[in-house]
Structure 1
Amino acid sequence: MKDHGKKGGKRRGDRDEYDELEVWVPPAEEKGKPRQRLTLLAVKDDRMKVGDDELSLIIEVTYSADGEMHCEVCQTTECIHCGYAWGIRDRYTGNPHHSKPNSKP
């Protein structure tokens, strides 16, 4: 890694554990608008790509057959990325996340 003249010698996007992941470059901020950390980038079948402005990464979240969201970066089902993905799924499918897929009310 290059030394950029800052303490520690690494920039925010130069984290070793994320080297193989895509880097998210957020759009320029507009004056007077609050900063949005997460942005939905793509949805395909059981996967979502979410841009994380704080980590400067594109995060892939998958929805499994057993009704769980799984974050590929955090390696958990209980992170901010999974929560955001649940909100997107609930908003656009009308299926609240507390019910299993294909379950009857």
Structure 2
Amino acid sequence: MERSSFAILFFVRDSRVKKDGTAIIEVALTVNGERSFFSTGKRVCVQNWDKSRQLVRGNSEEAKSINKFLSALKAKIYQKEAELLDRGFVITAE
């Protein structure tokens, strides 16, 4: 069975920043070049968002909590991908 390309990207949309300077962290899930987007439900101050590392900068409890959440979410997505592949499913971005 051929393995599909699979990538997870966390990001904030600069166009969706609220007046308080925060934005929702979103996920772009790419499978074989097709992208699907969904929200994490977590809000972050865009000045504290590290685009390249895809994490919240800082040592505050909030930053640590959000970063831990993102790490767990990424692990869960990869775990589900592995489970589906093991069961013979074809994975798509949808």
With normalisation by structure 1, the TM-score equals: 0.29
Find the structure with the greater CA-based Rg.
1
Under a length normalisation based on structure 2, what TM-score does the superposition of the two structures give?
A: 0.32
Of structures 1 and 2, the one scoring higher in RCO (CA 8 A, sep 6+) is: 2
Give the structure with the higher percent helix: 2
